[in-house]
C-alpha cells in the first residue's frame, strides 16, 4: 500500500491553528512522525484564503523538506498553485489532485509530462460526482487516455474513484468497489487511491466503518490511501489485510508493525 | 419519541397519531395508508401537513442535531413523508381550483442538504403552488435554465453551510447578468442565512422557517408584498 499522510491539512483544526500561529515546530513534528509511521508521501494542504495560499504552501513545503526524506504531495484545488509549487520541491512527488473539469488536466499535465511527478486524478467531471461504478470507470478511462497523450505512464496515475457517503447512499461502497474492479481489469499499472473517511460521514463510530471500508477496498484492488498513518487502528487494517491477502510471508511485516508499536496494542 | 408525541396536542386523535408515528418511524407504506385514512375522515390537507407531517420531521431534525438520530433515519422519514404527500396529492389538487403560482426551488451547488428544502416544497404545495424542485447541488446555470423554462413567480434558494451560502450570491448575480432578475422574486433560507445576508446579496425575501416561506409566498401572490421582504 502507498500511504499518503494527510495530517498537514489546514482543514484539520489543530493544523490550521499551527499554520495561523506559524508554529513550524508542530508542522515538522507531525511531518516526521508520519514518515516514521510509514507514509510514502507527506500531503500538504494549506486550507487558507486564496490570497495567502501560495505563501503558506511555500512555508509548509520548506518545513517538511527540512525533516523528511519522502516526497511531498501537493494538495490544492487550484491547479496554478500546484504548478507554482513544483519548483519548490527538492524531488518529484505527487499532485493531489486534478480532474477532467475546468481544464485542470490541461494546466497540470503539460508541466509534469517529462518529469517523474505522479498525479491523483478524481473521477468527476462537469456533471458532478457520479455515484455508479460504470460512470466512475468511464471517467477514469478518459483520464488515463488524457495522461497517455502527454506521455504520462499509467503507473504515475493515481485514480481516486470518489467514494460517496454510506449514510445517504446504501450502495456507496458497492459502486466504489465496482469502479476499482473495472479500473484494475483494464489498467493494471494504474494506482487506485481514496480519501476514504467520507464513507462514514454522519454515522456513529466512524472509525469502525473506515476500517472495514479500507479492508474491503484493499481486497478489491485499491493499492493506496490518503489517511492518518499515526492512527494505530488504520495501521492494523493495513498490515492485517496485507497479511490476510497472502502478501506477507510468515506474517513478518505484521509482526514487525506490532513490535514497532504501530498497532493499537503495546508489545509485551 | 413518547415525549415528542405528548408535546403535540393535535395528535390526541389516534388517526393523526398513526400518521405521526409512521413518519417518525420512516414507514412509507404505513404513512401513505394513514394519510388516506385521515383524508377519508375529513381532515384537510393543511391540517394533516401542519399537525401530522411537519411536527415529526421537526422532532427528527432536532434529534439529528443532538446526535440522537442519524442521517439514514431522517432520510427514511423523508421517504415516508413523500409517501404521505403522494396520498395527499389528489386532495391538494381538488382543494385548489387554480394554482397560486409557480415556485422553483433548489439547494445550492456543493450543498447536499434537502430536508429543509423538501419541507418548504411540501408547505408550498399544500398552499396550492406548483413547485419545481431542482433538488440538491444545483448550479447557478441550472437555476437560470429553470427560470427560462418554467417562468416561476418565485425562486427559492436553500443553503445549510457557511461555506456554501456564498453560492447564493453567485446565483443571484447570474440571474441578474442574464436579465431575468426583474421577472422573479428571490426567497432564501437555511441554517446559516440571515436577513442581513439576504439584504447584502440582494435577495427579496428571507424566510426563517418553512412557515415563513409558505406565508411569504402566499402574501406575495395575493398582495404583491410580504412582511418577510428584506
Which domain CATH number covers A170? 3.20.20.20
Q: Confirm whether A51 is domain-assigned.
A: no
Whether A168 contacts chain B with CB within 8 A: yes
pLDDT tens, position by position, A32-54: 999 999 999 999 999 888 889 99
Task: Supply the pLDDT for residue A33.
Answer: 97
The nearest alpha carbon in chain A to B114 belongs to A168
Residues 6+ apart with CB under 8 A from A165: A172, A198, A199, A200, A201, A202, B71
Task: Note whether A168 contacts B75, CB cutoff 8 Å.
Answer: yes
Task: Note whether B71 contacts A167, CB cutoff 8 Å.
Answer: yes
Q: Confirm whether A182 is domain-assigned.
A: yes
Mutate which of A126, A167, A201, A206 to disrupt the B interface (most B C-beta within 10 Å)? A167
The nearest alpha carbon in chain B to A204 belongs to B70
The nearest alpha carbon in chain B to A203 belongs to B70
Q: Give me B183's grid cell.
A: 421577472
User: Rounded to an integer, what distance in angstroms lies between the CA atom of residue B197 and that of residue B208?
Assistant: 12
Q: Confirm whether A83 is domain-assigned.
A: yes
Residue owning grid cell 492494523: A236
As a whole-number percent, the residues of chain B with pLDDT over 90 amount to: 44
ipTM value, please give it: 0.73
Task: Note whether A203 contacts B71, CB cutoff 8 Å.
Answer: yes
> Roughly how many angstroms between the first and final C-alpha of chain A, as a whole number?
27
Diameter over CA atoms, chain B: 53
Task: Note whether B72 contacts A203, CB cutoff 8 Å.
Answer: yes
Task: Note whether A202 contacts B137, CB cutoff 8 Å.
Answer: no
Interhelix angle A232-244/A252-259, rounded to 10 degrees, is 160
Residue A116's CB is within 10 A of a number of other CB atoms, namely: 11
Whether A204 contacts chain B with CB within 8 A: yes
What residues make up the domain containing A197?
2-6+36-45+73-259
Task: Supply the pLDDT for residue A35.
Answer: 98
pTM: 0.75
Task: Please state the domain count of chain A.
Answer: 1
pLDDT tens, position by position, A207-231: 999 999 999 999 999 999 999 999 9
Q: Confirm whether A216 is domain-assigned.
A: yes
Coil, helix or strand at residue B65: helix
Task: Supply the pLDDT for residue B95.
Answer: 54
pLDDT tens, position by position, B87-136: 887 766 555 445 788 999 999 998 878 777 887 887 787 677 889 999 98
On the question of a cis peptide bond just before residue A97, with omega within 30 degrees of 0, the verdict is yes
Q: Measure B33 CA to nearest chain A CA, in Å.
A: 26
pLDDT tens, position by position, A89-130: 999 999 999 998 767 899 999 999 999 999 999 998 877 788
Task: Note whether A167 contacts B137, CB cutoff 8 Å.
Answer: no
Q: Judge contact between A140 and A179, C-beta under 8 A.
A: yes
Write down the domain spans for chain B. 2-95, 101-223
The nearest alpha carbon in chain B to A201 belongs to B71
The tens place of each residue's pLDDT in chain B, 230 residues long, gives 445 554 444 445 677 999 999 999 999 999 999 999 999 999 988 788 878 888 888 788 778 778 888 878 888 888 898 889 888 877 665 554 457 889 999 999 988 787 778 878 877 876 778 899 999 889 999 999 999 999 999 999 999 887 788 899 999 999 999 999 999 999 999 988 999 999 999 999 999 987 789 889 989 988 888 888 88
What's B101-223's CATH class? Answer: alpha beta
Q: Measure B107 CA to nearest chain A CA, in Å.
A: 15
User: Rounded to an integer, what distance in angstroms lies between the CA atom of residue B47 and that of residue B126?
Assistant: 10
Q: Give A233's pLDDT tier (boundaries 50, 70, 90).
A: very high
- Strands, DSSP E only, in chain A? 2-9, 41-45, 72-75, 94-98, 118-122, 157-160, 191-192, 224-227
Residues 6+ apart with CB under 8 A from A154: A144, A147, A148, A187, A189, A190
Architecture of the B2-95 domain: Orthogonal Bundle (1.10)
Q: A203: which chain B residues are within 8 Å (Cβ-Cβ)?
A: 70-72
Comparing CA positions, the residue from A172, A192, A168, A101 lying closest to residue A132 is A172
Whether A208 contacts chain B with CB within 8 A: no
* Residue that wins the pLDDT comparison between B71 and A203: A203
Amino acid at each position: 500500500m502507498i500511504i499518503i499522510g494527510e495530517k498537514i491539512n489546514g482543514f484539520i483544526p489543530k493544523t490550521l491553528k499551527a499554520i495561523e500561529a506559524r508554529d513550524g515546530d508542530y508542522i515538522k513534528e507531525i511531518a516526521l512522525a508520519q514518515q516514521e509511521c510509514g507514509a510514502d508521501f507527506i500531503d500538504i494542504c494549506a486550507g487558507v484564503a486564496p490570497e495567502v495560499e501560495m505563501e503558506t504552501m511555500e512555508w509548509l513545503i520548506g518545513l517538511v523538506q527540512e525533516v523528511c526524506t519522502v516526497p511531498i504531495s501537493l494538495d490544492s484545488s487550484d491547479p496554478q498553485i500546484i504548478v507554482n509549487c513544483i519548483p519548490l520541491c527538492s524531488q518529484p512527488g505527487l499532485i493531489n489532485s486534478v480532474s477532467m473539469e475546468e481544464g485542470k488536466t490541461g494546466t497540470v499535465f503539460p508541466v509534469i509530462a517529462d518529469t517523474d511527478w505522479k498525479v491523483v486524478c478524481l473521477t468527476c467531471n462537469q456533471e458532478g460526482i457520479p455515484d455508479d461504478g460504470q460512470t466512475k470507470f468511464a471517467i477514469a478511462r478518459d483520464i488515463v487516455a488524457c495522461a497517455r497523450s502527454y506521455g504520462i505512464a499509467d503507473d504515475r496515475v493515481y485514480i481516486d474513484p470518489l467514494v460517496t457517503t454510506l449514510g445517504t447512499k446504501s450502495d456507496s461502497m458497492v459502486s466504489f468497489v465496482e469502479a476499482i474492479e473495472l479500473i484494475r481489469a483494464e489498467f493494471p499499472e494504474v494506482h487506485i487511491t481514496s480519501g476514504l473517511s467520507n464513507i462514514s460521514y454522519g454515522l456513529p463510530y466512524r472509525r469502525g466503518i473506515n476500517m472495514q471500508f479500507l479492508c474491503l477496498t484493499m481486497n478489491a484492488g485499491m493499492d493506496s490511501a490518503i489517511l492518518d498513518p499515526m492512527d494505530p487502528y488504520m495501521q492494523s487494517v493495513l498490515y492485517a489485510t496485507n497479511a490476510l491477502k497472502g502478501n506477507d510471508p510468515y506474517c513478518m511485516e505484521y509482526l514487525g508493525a506490532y513490535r514497532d508499536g504501530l498497532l493499537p496494542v503495546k508489545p509485551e | 419519541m413518547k415525549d415528542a408525541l405528548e408535546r403535540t396536542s393535535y395528535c390526541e386523535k389516534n388517526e393523526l397519531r398513526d400518521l405521526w408515528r409512521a413518519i417518525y418511524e420512516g414507514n412509507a407504506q404505513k404513512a401513505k395508508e394513514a394519510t388516506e385514512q385521515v383524508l377519508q375522515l375529513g381532515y384537510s390537507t393543511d391540517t394533516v401537513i401542519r399537525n401530522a407531517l411537519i411536527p415529526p420531521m421537526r422532532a427528527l431534525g432536532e434529534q439529528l442535531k443532538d446526535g440522537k438520530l442519524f442521517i439514514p433515519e431522517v432520510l427514511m422519514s423523508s421517504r415516508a413523508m413523500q409517501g404521505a404527500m403522494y396520498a395527499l396529492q389528489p386532495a391538494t389538487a381538488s382543494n385548489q381550483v387554480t394554482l397560486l403560482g409557480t415556485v422553483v426551488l433548489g439547494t445550492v451547488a456543493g450543498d447536499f442538504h434537502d430536508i429543509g428544502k423538501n419541507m418548504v416544497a411540501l408547505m408550498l404545495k399544500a398552499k396550492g403552488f406548483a413547485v419545481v424542485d431542482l433538488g440538491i447541488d444545483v448550479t447557478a446555470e441550472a437555476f437560470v435554465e429553470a427560470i427560462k423554462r418554467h417562468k416561476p413567480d418565485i425562486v427559492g434558494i436553500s443553503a445549510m453551510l457557511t461555506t456554501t451560502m456564498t453560492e447564493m450570491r453567485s446565483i443571484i448575480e447570474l440571474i441578474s447578468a442574464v436579465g431575468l432578475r426583474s421577472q422573479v422574486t428571490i426567497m432564501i433560507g437555511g441554517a446559516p442565512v440571515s436577513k442581513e445576508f439576504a439584504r447584502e446579496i440582494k435577495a427579496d425575501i428571507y424566510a426563517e422557517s418553512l412557515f415563513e416561506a409558505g406565508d411569504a409566498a402566499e402574501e406575495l401572490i395575493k398582495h404583491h408584498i410580504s412582511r418577510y421582504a428584506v
